[in-house]
Amino acid sequence: MALEPHDKQIPRRDPEGNVRWLSIGGGTALVLAVLAVLLAWQRAADERDAARDVKARVEAEMNRIEAEAQRIEREASK
C-alpha cells in the first residue's frame, strides 16, 4: 500500500506562534534588564548615602577632638 500525496501528514509550522513566543521572551528579557538597572541604581544610591554618613560622622568626631584639644590648651595656659 503506497502512500498517496494527500495521505501524508506534513507537520505545519506556526510562524505567528513563534513570533509570539519571541515577543514574550523579548519582553520578559527587557523587564528583567530594567529591574537589574533599577536595583543597581538603588544600591549605588545607598552606598553613596552611606559614604556621606561616614564623612559626616568623621567630621563631627574631628570637630569634637579639636574642641577638646582647644579646651585642654586653654586650661594649660591658665
Residues 37-48: pLDDT tens digits?
999 999 999 999
Supply the pTM of this predicted model. Answer: 0.53
Q: Domain locations in the chain?
A: 31-78
In a 3-state reduction of DSSP, which class is residue 11?
coil
Where residue 54 falls among pLDDT bands split at 50, 70, 90? confident
Average pLDDT score over residue span 15-41: 91
Rounded CA Rg of the chain: 35
d(CA 22, CA 17): 9
Question: How distant, in Å, are the alpha carbons of 32, 35, 40, 41, 50 from that of 45?
Answer: 20, 15, 9, 6, 9
Average pLDDT score over residue span 60-64: 96
Where residue 7 falls among pLDDT bands split at 50, 70, 90? low
Write out the three cell numbers for 3: 502512500
